[in-house]
């Protein structure tokens, strides 16, 4: 499923299952793991929503979501998957079905940190990414 369809599911989750008084999610721009120029939104810049609770989407070159995860610190978790190689480019340190190219993050309020768990499960159930094992 492509990113736009997944973001529609995030909207659906917000409308159906969240109270109106809750703070909105903070959605990042796409973060390019292998940018062609260094001035772009991507590697080696800081992770989007770094240090925040939330959900992250890992996508292939066609922006199809291949993995959905959650973390109490999005940036720290992404650093478990992607690190610096000797030439300072992005090094993938996890086995994926398809090569990751982009990351998109969805931060939740620290007051409702537990929402990340429900959002992750809702998205995995509906998207069924190829590299997730939960909810299949």
**Is the predicted pLDDT of residue 39 greater than 70, yes or no?**
no
The confidence score (pLDDT) of residue 25 equals 98
Residue 136 has pLDDT above 70, yes or no: no
Query: Which are the contacts of 61, defined by CB distance < 8 A and separation ≥ 6?
Result: 99, 101, 102
pLDDT at position 38? 67
Mean local confidence (pLDDT), 66-91: 97
CATH classification number, 3-127, choose in 1.10.3720.10, 3.40.50.740, 3.40.1440.10, 3.20.20.70:
3.40.1440.10
Q: Which residue has the tokens 């992607």?
A: 82
pTM: 0.94
Percent of the chain with pLDDT over 90: 91
pLDDT tens digits, residue range 81-114? 999 999 999 999 999 999 999 999 999 999 999 9
Q: For the chain, what are the domain ranges?
A: 3-127
pLDDT at site 36? 87
DSSP letter for each residue of 91-121:
EE-S--SS---EEEEEE--GGGTTHHHHHHH
Cα(26)–Cα(24) distance, integer angstroms:
6
Is the pLDDT at 134 greater than 60? The verdict is no
Q: Give residue-wise pLDDT tens across range 112-125.
A: 999 999 999 999 99
- Give the Cα separation of 33 and 100 in Å (integer): 8
């Amino acid at each position: 499923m492509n990113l736009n369809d997944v973001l529609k599911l995030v909207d659906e989750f917000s409308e159906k299952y969240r109270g109106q008084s809750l703070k909105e999610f903070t959605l990042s721009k796409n973060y390019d793991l292998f940018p062609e120029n260094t001035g772009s939104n991507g590697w080696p810049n800081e992770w989007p929503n770094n240090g925040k609770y939330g959900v992250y989407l890992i996508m292939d070159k066609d922006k199809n979501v291949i993995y959905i995860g959650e973390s109490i610190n999005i940036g720290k978790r992404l650093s478990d998957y992607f690190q610096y190689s000797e030439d300072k480019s992005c090094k993938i340190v996890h086995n994926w079905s398809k090569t990751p190219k982009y990351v998109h993050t969805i931060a939740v309020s620290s007051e409702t940190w537990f929402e990340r768990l429900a959002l992750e499960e809702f998205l995995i159930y509906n998207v069924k990414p190829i590299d997730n094992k939960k909810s299949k």
